[in-house]
Amino acid sequence: EVQLAESGGGSVQAGGSLRLSCATSGITYSGPCLAWFRQAPGKEREGVASIYINRDSTYYVDSVKGRFTISQDNTDNTLYLQMDNLKPEDTGMYYCAVAGYYSCRNLLHNPSAVDDWGLGTLVTVSS
């Protein structure tokens, strides 16, 4: 059973930084894609960044390029999202996700392809 547990959310002022973590376990897919999604109140869930397990290929949506960095630590199966220069529009619930057999690039625009979701961690950015 796949388990994803996010942590690291909180409240910061615009321009600040946060680092989100996602502890993963039970992933047995071959070549899976790990990703971060977010959902603001009243809006649809959207992709933020993605990375293939055990590979360096990363993908970002335009709104976070240059500000967010996705990474992984394969020694303890943890996914990270470093968020710098945060903006109020980055506010939302952030979810860790895994897709077993889907393109990491395309996953960011197709949340229905996600196989497993975490419960999320809340990020609030004030102006």
CA pair distance 53, 14, nearest whole angstrom:
31
* Helix or strand (DSSP H, E) at 3: strand 3-7
Q: What is the pLDDT of residues 38-91, one digit of tens each?
A: 999 999 999 999 999 888 899 999 999 999 999 999 899 999 999 999 999 999
% of the chain exceeding 90 in pLDDT: 89
pLDDT at 31: 76
Residue 89 carries which DSSP code? G
pLDDT at 30: 77
Beta-ladder partners of 13: 126
Mean pLDDT of 4-23: 98
SS3 88: helix
Q: With the C-alpha atoms ordered 99, 105, 106, 112, is the resulting torsion angle positive or negative? A: positive
How confident is residue 29, by pLDDT bands cut at 50, 70 and 90? confident
